[in-house]
Amino acid sequence: MGPIRAVIRVLAILWTSFEGAVLFVCMRVRGPLSAKERAGWLQGVCSRAVRRVGVELRVEGDIPREGLIVANHLGYADILALSSIVPCAFIAKKEVGSWPIFGWLAARSGTLFVDRERRLDTAKFNESIDGVLRSGVPVVLFPEGTSSDGSTVLPFRPSLFEPAIASRATITPAWIGYEVSSGSVANDVCYWGEMTLVPHLFRMFAIHTIVANINFGTAMRGMQDRKQTAEATRNEVIRLSESRAAVVAETRQ
């Protein structure tokens, strides 16, 4: 049943993406889309995708409606999960723009693609982040700089915190984790290392039940130093992770 389930869910993702493309074209005919319109469009696409592939969302904490959302990063599933619960824009490495399906969605939704090899463009890129923040659209930052298997929270890179600090935007830490009915979260849900997208998609969607846990921490305000902010938000993400682990351990006793 697993392989059949995977095929059905992949087809559901393709159909949802096609629907989203048609809707985007219809919206675009009326004129240029604002950051809020693009974020709302992506939320609709991701909400339908999550529902159709049977991913269950469990959210704790107050969902932020503005400012910077800072989270650990386990793979592309994070984008589907986060965007389905809050209309937002993402900061992503430029390579994501070339991914099938996800790259197209990312580009149309207003994702801010960062080229870490072109450090001279940092000031211009930070201006782009500031513009989205000032428009009232939450911006999601994965400051680890890469995805992981979820066994730890990697150090946060402080450079991209600067726009939020300069504009005095709220900064909300968030932890993302997954539970599965079979297989391995690290190998079948997390997308990291040298994994290849299409085989990973089929492995993940073959799993009967996937639960995405998203825990939001307390919003931080008035932060002034990006290095201290990076450390403080990482500590809070770790705390949220440990808190969730304690709950799971208690329920299993």
Nearest Cα to Cα of residue 79 among 66, 64, 92, 98: 92
Q: What is the pLDDT of residue 103?
A: 84
Residue in this structure with the two tokens 């919003």, named with its chain if needed: 219
Q: Is the pLDDT of residue 7 over 70?
A: yes
Q: How far apart are CA 202 and CA 196, in angstroms?
A: 11
Mean pLDDT of the chain: 92
Average pLDDT (26-54) is 95
Q: What is the pLDDT of residue 248?
A: 72
* Residue 29 in tokens: 């005919």
Predicted confidence (pLDDT) per residue in 50-90, tens digit: 999 999 999 999 999 999 999 999 999 999 999 999 999 99
Sequence-distant contacts of 97-103: CB under 8 A, at least 24 apart:
99/197, 100/197, 100/198, 101/13, 101/14, 101/17, 102/76, 102/197
Number of domains in the chain: 1
Nearest Cα to Cα of residue 218 among 14, 60, 98: 60
Please give the model's pTM, rounded to 2 decimal places: 0.93
Rg over alpha carbons for the chain, rounded to the nearest Å, is: 18
Q: What is the pLDDT of residue 239?
A: 96
Q: Residue 84: how many CA atoms within 13 Å on its side-chain side?
A: 23
Q: Is the pLDDT of residue 120 over 60?
A: no
Say if residues 77 and 103 touch (Cβ distance below 8 Å): no
Nearest Cα to Cα of residue 207 among 174, 226, 184: 184
Could you tell me the CATH number of the domain that includes residue 132? 3.40.1130
- Residue 53: CB atoms within 10 A of its CB come to 20
Residues spanned by the domain of 219: 2-252
Q: Is the pLDDT of residue 203 over 90?
A: yes
Q: What is the pLDDT of residue 121?
A: 63
Of all residues in the chain, what percent carry a pLDDT higher than 70? 96
Q: How far apart are CA 123 and CA 121, in angstroms?
A: 6
